[in-house]
Amino acid sequence: MRQLAGAPVFSLGFRPFFLVGAGFAAIAVAVWAVWLYGRLPGAQPVGGMLSWHRHEMPFGFAAAIIAGFLLTAVPNWTGRTGLNGWPLIGLLLVWLLARLAWLMPIPAVALIALQIPFLPLLAWVLGRDLVAAGKRDNYPILLVVALLAATQAMTLWGISTDDIGLQRHGVLAAVWLIGALMSVIGGRVIPFFIQRGLNRPAPNPVHPLPFRLLLAGSLLAAVSFAGGLNDIPRGWLAALFLVIGGLHLLRLWRWHDRGIWRVPLLWSLYLAYAWLAIATLAMALWHAGAMPQQSLATHSLAVGGIGGLILAMIARVSLGHTGRLLQPSKTIVAGFFLLLIAGLCRVFLVPFSGAGLALSALFWCAAFGLFLVRYTDILLKPRV
């Protein structure tokens, strides 16, 4: 047992959570696509397959990757020892049991009881270290994780009471909260990675006001989804999403360097972040009555933005934190292209062809499958 706790895979949070998150991403989307096309007969989980899909993508897949990233980043920010060994295994088992609970013939109340603990436990672990180190500038990240836990509770309540509206509001709020977290994390690491990756001089500090406006606007957008305000087009929300989209574009303009297009670990991050601008501007168009389907904006964020940024981040973080050269293999570069195509198919092909969903799911699963092929060995073995 001591040997298990001391295994390299349990030395830091990114190792086990990147593995299970990527594996679950491929399996969950494959299961969803097979069911969607009528090829998965049999009993459905509590609330049905749509409820399962809605819940598991933000609170299963994305939550695992967020946990892996923050359990690795917070020790760097605070100088404190990261979660490892049996405490890390325990948190991983809490996540795993929540995924398996959907397969068990249990009542809704038991399902909820098994789903709820993970995010509050994660918030407590992160908050303990951030507060002890006095890292107040990182409190917004802790706030987003706590709000994610609240939206999960809202979603699960909607599932248990068959309240489709409440369930939908909770899931959409969670997706846009993850978008807000992307804007915080991306705003820190992407310009830093570009500067280091291209050996550029350190950029001049930017004024903090645009960042604060972006964070406040992103959180307000998530709250508007939780409150059901996006059920019908509203002019003031069109203005809000237009401002958020404009701030994302401003960032992309500031970060751009022609050299990034020669470095896959940079252009993959840059293009994934660009989906945030696409998603917010699409929401502005929907509220202005210029776009028919709100779901296209949501999936711009979910597939292109969240999926793309996750794959790019876990590819780079896994190399850096295992002591390897920041030179991705052709396998994972192919994965970057496949996930980009998955986003394009889901957003731009689906309105014209039902095959768009199948292609998007296929490319998504292939992208995360390639990550597992290339990185499983890296994440299981000791640091070089």
Cβ burial, residue 199 (10 Å; 0-12/13-18/19+): exposed
pLDDT at 108 over 70: yes
Tokens 């390639």: give the residue: 370
Report the C-alpha gap between 179 and 304 in whole angstroms: 11
Tell me the pLDDT tens digit for each residue of 336-364.
Answer: 999 999 999 999 999 998 899 999 999 99
Q: What is the pLDDT of residues 286-340, one digit of tens each?
A: 999 998 889 999 999 999 999 999 999 999 999 999 999 999 999 999 999 999 9
Residues 35-60 pLDDT 10s: 988 887 776 888 889 999 999 999 99
pLDDT above 80: residue 88: yes
Q: Which residue has the tokens 């794959």?
A: 311
Q: Please report the pLDDT score of residue 204 as a whole number.
A: 73
Q: CB within 8 A of 315, min separation 6: which ones?
A: 265, 268, 328, 332, 335, 336, 371, 375
CATH of domain 2-380: 1.20.210.10
Q: How far apart are CA 260 and CA 255, in angstroms?
A: 10
Q: Which residues contact 9 (CB under 8 A, 6 or more apart)?
A: 15, 16, 19, 379, 380
Region 125-149 average pLDDT: 92
pLDDT band at 98 (very low <50, low <70, confident <90, very high): very high
pLDDT, mean over the chain? 93
Q: Render pLDDT for 168-183 as a digit per residue (tens, 0 to 9).
A: 999 999 999 999 999 9
Please state the separation of Cα 349 from the chain's center in Å.
23
Is the pTM of the predicted complex or chain greater than 0.85?
Answer: yes
* Alpha-carbon 164 to chain mean position: 23
pLDDT of residue 96: 97
What's the pLDDT band for 207 if we cut at 50, 70, 90? confident
| Residue percentage of the chain with pLDDT more than 70 | 99
Which pLDDT value is given to residue 185?
93
Maximum separation of any 2 CA atoms in the chain, in Å: 60
Mean pLDDT of 254-267: 95
Extract the tokens encoding 254.
Answer: 């500031």
Please report which residue ranges of the chain form alpha helices under DSSP H: 2-5, 14-36, 49-56, 63-78, 85-101, 108-115, 118-133, 139-160, 164-197, 208-226, 235-255, 264-287, 294-299, 308-321, 330-344, 355-380
| Burial of 251 from C-beta contacts in 10 A (0-12 / 13-18 / 19+) | buried
What pLDDT digit, counting tens, does each position of 143-162 carry? 999 999 999 999 999 998 98
Specify the pLDDT at position 1: 65
Q: Give the pLDDT band (50/70/90) at residue 209.
A: confident
